[in-house]
Structure 1
Amino acid sequence: MTGSLDRVEAAVRGWLDSGTGRPLILGLCGAQGSGKSTLAKGLRDRMEARGIATALLSLDDLYLSGHARAATARDIHPLLRTRGVPLTHDVAHGIALLDAVRGREATSFPRFDKARDEPEAQRQPVPAKLDLLIFEGWCVGARAQDDAAVAAPINALERDADPDGSWRRAVNAALCTGYAELFARIDRLVLLAAPGFEIVARWRLEQEEALRRTLEAQGRSTAGLMDAPAVLRFVAHYERLTCWILDEMPARADLVLRLDVDRNLIA
């Protein structure tokens, strides 16, 4: 991950030097388990060590509560009960947060507890007059597919749980509206490109095991964590958009970092 961090740091320093005088909003996109959160935290630490006021916001921290997702699942499609895809985030709140940062206003960021699958009660204070906001997430900067591209299912989950395509059409439509408005506030976009979707399940399972060890060390419950079969079903929700990002985003991202199966930067 050091090589990726060095590359991103050099790029960000250049973008800051040639900036507009307002905070730089950096979008960092990467598949589940690709190391984007680790990279984002490392970049924040390096920037702050240089005296650059930096904050970090994860798209995951914008997840709707379980109650709100249950309502969305009832009103639109049952698959939206599972967090992850567009329509399971509080996009309006995300837009307000990015606008506050761009306006150099003090604000506070939400945090989401994945073990409980619920937002945390406490928020993270963010000072005014930031220089850099790192906005990271698995589909940050994603664009919608053509309507024809979502017609046929691409995995068993879509075939069995979304036979009429209403879930995938709704998710795709969200990328044309609220999510497009949110991602339009990004100034520069960095993509951590996985070697393919087939590695994502392994990476995601490694994440789950790491979280399990952390919670156990803290004496907290691990009841909400997933076993291997649950992880496979979970990542199937992400497959379509992850594959589309890997196909479409490299041509327009400001920086593409291609990774091998061990998350090492490919020269």
Structure 2
Amino acid sequence: MSNPAARNAIAQHVEDWISTAITVAPAGHIPLLFLSGAQGSGKSTALRQAAASLTAPVAIASLDDFYLTRTARAHLANTISPLLATRGPPGTHDLPLLRATLASLRAASDRSATSIPVFDKLADDRAASSAWRVFQGRPAAIVIEGWLMGALPDATAPSSAPLNEVEAQDPAGTWRRFQEEALAGGYARLWDEADGFFHILAPGFDTVLGWRLEQEASLWQARGTPMPEDRRAWAARFIQYYERITRRMLEGGRRPGTDLLIDGNRCGLPPPP
């Protein structure tokens, strides 16, 4: 199980990072910050705790809440690759919606109410707008967290040998090429707008499955229902969609920023010598 004290330790690092960005920002400028971390690394919890501890108003959101709708992903699956029906990889996010939300937050006044989308992961679709979160006022900073924030593209990925069973279903590299082109395009342009990156670095990809299972169990617990046994197999396969780029980011394929190494219990580690 996760360690609340360790989560708090991560949150303190994130809080300091946000606070510094606000302090050094030019007058009138709202810093845009991106927080990355593998699935289940504790980034969402750390960000919520950090934002709650700051006296300045900080607008936070998850890249996950900007997934394309199920219908939009079905269209990609039918026209490009069946693997694109599964949310998560580059190209399955609604970047125009994200940009519109960022623009609204940047233009907000002290009296504004800005809607922020919500994605229902168990329904695998965007929630109705009536269920979206609302940020009140003008933010001192905007922080978006997500597993791939700052990920760099790799043009050789489409022709590389498959890493797992999911990639084996992409023998021509069509799905991987679509992701790399997305990373080199819309995502790169989004990264260019950042005022800073913070990367929570897992000890290795093998740790991610255990974290993802904890995350899945929490989603079901929130609904008052035990996690079905078949969801374990589902989670093990689901993280294969993320494996290549997660490994790349852990190996240095990410935009430069503040790095926090953590262990399997999500405790911060000293930097390597």
Structure 2 length normalisation: TM-score?
Answer: 0.88
Report how many aligned residue pairs link the two structures.
257
Alpha-carbon distance, 1:6 to partner: 1.7
Alpha-carbon distance, 1:104 to partner: 3.5
| Amino acid aligned to 1:18 | V
Corresponding residue for residue 123 of structure 2: 116
Corresponding residue for residue 138 of structure 1: 147
| Amino acid aligned to 1:115 | L
| Contact kept in structure 2, 1:29 and 1:140, CA below 8 Å | yes
Alpha-carbon distance, 1:40 to partner: 0.9
| Contact kept in structure 1, 2:14 and 2:47, CA below 8 Å | no
Corresponding residue for residue 196 of structure 2: 188
Q: Does 1:174 align with 2:177?
A: no
Choose which of 129, 152, 156 in structure 2 pairs with 1:148.
156
List gaps (5 residues or longer) in structure 1: none
| Amino acid aligned to 2:202 | A
SS in 1 for 2:224: helix
Corresponding residue for residue 266 of structure 1: 269
Question: CA 1:65–1:116 in structure 2 vs 1: closer, same or farther (change >3 Å)?
Answer: same
Choose which of 17, 21, 30 in structure 2 pairs with 1:15.
21
| Contact kept in structure 2, 1:23 and 1:101, CA below 8 Å | no
Question: CA 1:222–1:119 in structure 2 vs 1: closer, same or farther (change >3 Å)?
Answer: farther
Alpha-carbon distance, 1:138 to partner: 0.6
Point out 4+ residue stretches in structure 1 off by more than 4 angstroms. Answer: none
Task: Give the root-mean-square deviation of aligned CA atoms.
Answer: 1.9
Q: Does 1:39 align with 2:43?
A: no
Show CA shifts across 1:32-89 (max 9, x none).
Answer: 0000100110111011xx2x01111100000111111101111110000001101111
Alpha-carbon distance, 1:23 to partner: 1.1
List gaps (5 residues or longer) in structure 2: 1-6
Corresponding residue for residue 234 of structure 1: 238
For 2:11 and 2:68, locate their aligned partners in 1 and report how far apart those are by CA, in whole Å.
30
Corresponding residue for residue 254 of structure 1: 257
Corresponding residue for residue 3 of structure 2: none
Q: How does 1:207-226 map to 2 (within 5 A)?
A: 207-216=215-224
Choose which of 16, 21, 35 in structure 2 pairs with 1:28.
35
Name whichever of 132-141 and 104-113 sits farther off: 104-113
SS in 2 for 1:26: strand
| Amino acid aligned to 2:75 | A
